[in-house]
Chain A
């Protein structure tokens, strides 16, 4: 089932903040079509890992290589965040970072920026080509919002949405950049069990229908265990385990790192 080349191939990744080694020799592979979870106690370095692969931090060492479908491999070290996104990696944020004073639809339309072309002249003269592009952008964005169940909110300001809906909007916005790998940073944080359930189904659906791979950071073990194909466990910047959900839930090292927290797979 697994093609030879992973969608994302991270080797010996290191990230230092002054004297603090936040990531120490991290290896991680995600294959096309996989849902992979990255778990670990607070402060383990999960968000730092995301920031490294999305170009927001420049890693101290290691290699990060992507293999998009039917395209040449790209080494994404030292690329700017927007270029990484253009290459097909899109993320959401642990602390929701929507464009609050824009409407829900516009939030998604902004993410279409890197897949569209209209320039200043197009904006001013509104030539047929620009109008067509704009219309396609609106259609595409609306379609995505409908898919994540936000169809009725298009004209609301993003800040007026309920919390769970804001999280889903972040996912829709990331999807609008047409990624082949979607990175979700604690998408279920702050959601109630019903919302988490819906999120579970949404993530599965995205993977199945959109042909993407998903890497998610999550503290909700029930969600992690039910949807991931594989799990990586990070503790104090070190990768302490990886494997299928059942392997991970029995791994003594993981149980030790999570001492006090219970698994219910």
Chain B
């Protein structure tokens, strides 16, 4: 009887001592900072021993919980279960009309009335969240599908924004004409970046694309005659609505619906691309470059289409960004931006559309509503990222592949 419990008791005592050690270590580390308080003016030292106790107890419990969760995770089983549960739920939601239709109707209704029931400020935040959804879905093509780690994605965003800003500033080109041009120009830049990095993979590719992003930003910052340098471009026109005069609020609502339509368009295109001849080639490239080439896929072409198509979305969003803020300068296109977009893709789940959308909402809306916590905002954000990456390394939602139903041998029928 006792022998049966022996391993468990050993394990718990083991974890207990380990957690004690962790808490002691933390108390030692934070001692100078949290316990000793020197008042130079009064020339006194205050010893705040209570802080030491708080840290000790806190570190002990956190470490214990962490160890418990980790052991559960490594124990396996539970994760597999979670995965198949997700699969089943996903399939159910997509196939069962009773769940699917009312859900869809509710979502559509909410999206339509959103800008009318919430304030202009809320709508603005929603617009930027939706912009990041589009950026995330675009980068998802490059990183999630084709597996090319691109840390300079913001460069294409900048290209789109400056394309519209400059065209509008110099020639008064309206938004709707500039939008496709921005997409096309960004695609061109995608190919331009693609060529030199064709042979690179993984870390090397990441470094070079990072450099590319910085180069574009530095050019914009320093080439005053072309881009007006750090002072940027102001007075960019908002999207025109059949030549009618709109108030600021109406403009916001209009822009909201533009971005909603564009997000829907993006989802449609990306989901179709994903299950197409080209999309499968991207995924094959991600999975195994050597085998992919051996199966007759042109690596060069496939990589370039991924870069170009990914960049197109950044260009489109850049154009919207310029139209939304009516003012742009290079400070909006720093590496931080690329990092956030990449985080959206990784956090949401590489290759998954719903995952990327959830990722974008979490990463953009959460910090917005966490403003109350002001300085702890980024800390909480970082902690959330680390936790998700430890417990769901594949992202919140992992990409699901299309299923095909075959009714009789030789009589296949694709289900879309």
CB within 8 Å of B: which residues of A? Answer: 54, 56, 80-82, 85-86, 90-91, 93, 97-103, 105-106, 109-116, 118-120, 122-124, 126, 130, 133-135, 137-139, 142-143, 146, 151, 154-155, 157, 173-174, 176-177
* Inter-chain contact B291/A98, CB cutoff 8 Å: yes
Q: Which residues of chain B are near A105, meaning CB under 8 Å?
A: 404
Across the interface, A93 reaches (CB within 8 A) one of B272, B291, B402, namely B291
CB distance from B122 to the nearest CB of A (A): 33
CB distance from A93 to the nearest CB of B (A): 7
Residues of B within 8 Å of A, CB-based: how many? Answer: 35
* Inter-chain contact A173/B295, CB cutoff 8 Å: yes
Binds A, one of B3-11, B37-45, B197-205, B297-305: B297-305
Given that A97-B291, A155-B403 are contacting pairs, would A146 and B409 also be in contact in the complex, using a CB cutoff of 8 Å? yes
* Inter-chain contact B276/A118, CB cutoff 8 Å: yes
* Inter-chain contact B278/A118, CB cutoff 8 Å: yes
CB within 8 Å of A: which residues of B? Answer: 269, 272-273, 276-281, 283-284, 287-288, 290-299, 305, 309, 399, 401-404, 406, 409-410, 412, 414
Of chain A, the residue at the smallest CB distance from B276 is: A123
CB distance from A103 to the nearest CB of B (A): 5
* Inter-chain contact A113/B280, CB cutoff 8 Å: yes
CB distance from A158 to the nearest CB of B (A): 9
* Inter-chain contact B284/A102, CB cutoff 8 Å: yes
17 examples of A-B residue contacts, CB within 8 angstroms: A56-B293, A80-B298, A82-B294, A90-B294, A91-B294, A93-B290, A97-B290, A97-B294, A98-B288, A99-B283, A99-B292, A105-B404, A106-B402, A113-B277, A115-B296, A118-B277, A124-B269
* Inter-chain contact A116/B294, CB cutoff 8 Å: no
* Inter-chain contact A106/B280, CB cutoff 8 Å: yes
Given that A81-B294, A113-B281 are contacting pairs, would A146 and B410 also be in contact in the complex, using a CB cutoff of 8 Å? yes
Of chain B, the residue at the smallest CB distance from A99 is: B287
* A interface: dominant SS: helix
Q: Which residues of chain A are near B399, meaning CB under 8 Å?
A: 101
Interface centre among B279, B399, B414 (most CB of A within 10 A): B414
* Inter-chain contact A135/B414, CB cutoff 8 Å: yes
Beyond the given pairs A81-B294, A110-B280, 18 more chain A to chain B contacts, judged by CB atoms under 8 angstroms and listed by A's residue number, are A56-B293, A56-B294, A81-B293, A86-B296, A90-B296, A97-B290, A99-B288, A103-B401, A103-B402, A110-B292, A113-B295, A113-B296, A114-B295, A116-B277, A120-B305, A124-B269, A138-B414, A143-B410
Alpha-carbon distance between A71 and B340 when the two chains are bound, in angstroms: 54
Alpha-carbon distance between A159 and B283 when the two chains are bound, in angstroms: 15
Q: Which residues of chain B are near A86, meaning CB under 8 Å?
A: 296
* Inter-chain contact A123/B281, CB cutoff 8 Å: no
Q: Please give me the 3 A-B residue pairs with the lowest Cβ-Cβ distance, nearest first.
A: A114-B296, A123-B276, A85-B296
Of chain A, the residue at the smallest CB distance from B309 is: A120
Alpha-carbon distance between A152 and B255 when the two chains are bound, in angstroms: 49
* Inter-chain contact A109/B278, CB cutoff 8 Å: no
CB distance from B270 to the nearest CB of A (A): 10
* Inter-chain contact A102/B287, CB cutoff 8 Å: yes
Alpha-carbon distance between A111 and B287 when the two chains are bound, in angstroms: 14
Q: Which residues of chain A are near B297, meaning CB under 8 Å?
A: 82, 110, 113-114
Q: Which residues of chain A are near B284, meaning CB under 8 Å?
A: 99, 102, 110
Q: Which residues of chain B are near A113, meaning CB under 8 Å?
A: 277, 280-281, 295-297
Of chain A, the residue at the smallest CB distance from B274 is: A123
Alpha-carbon distance between A261 and B135 when the two chains are bound, in angstroms: 60
* Inter-chain contact A177/B295, CB cutoff 8 Å: yes
Given that A142-B410, A157-B401 are contacting pairs, would A54 and B294 also be in contact in the complex, using a CB cutoff of 8 Å? yes
* Inter-chain contact B404/A154, CB cutoff 8 Å: yes
Across the interface, B287 reaches (CB within 8 A) one of A101, A109, A115, A118, namely A101
CB distance from A219 to the nearest CB of B (A): 22
* Inter-chain contact B287/A82, CB cutoff 8 Å: no
* Inter-chain contact B412/A82, CB cutoff 8 Å: no
Given that A103-B401, A119-B278 are contacting pairs, would A82 and B299 also be in contact in the complex, using a CB cutoff of 8 Å? yes
Q: Which residues of chain A are near B406, meaning CB under 8 Å?
A: 142, 151, 154
CB distance from A128 to the nearest CB of B (A): 14
Q: Which residues of chain B are near A123, meaning CB under 8 Å?
A: 272-273, 276-279
CB distance from B312 to the nearest CB of A (A): 10
Q: Which residues of chain A are near B281, meaning CB under 8 Å?
A: 110, 113
Alpha-carbon distance between A146 and B277 when the two chains are bound, in angstroms: 22
Across the interface, A99 reaches (CB within 8 A) one of B291, B305, B402, namely B291
Q: Which residues of chain B are near A103, meaning CB under 8 Å?
A: 401-403
Q: Which residues of chain B are near A116, meaning CB under 8 Å?
A: 277
Alpha-carbon distance between A112 and B373 when the two chains are bound, in angstroms: 54
* Inter-chain contact A106/B296, CB cutoff 8 Å: no
Of chain A, the residue at the smallest CB distance from B268 is: A124
Alpha-carbon distance between A177 and B284 when the two chains are bound, in angstroms: 15
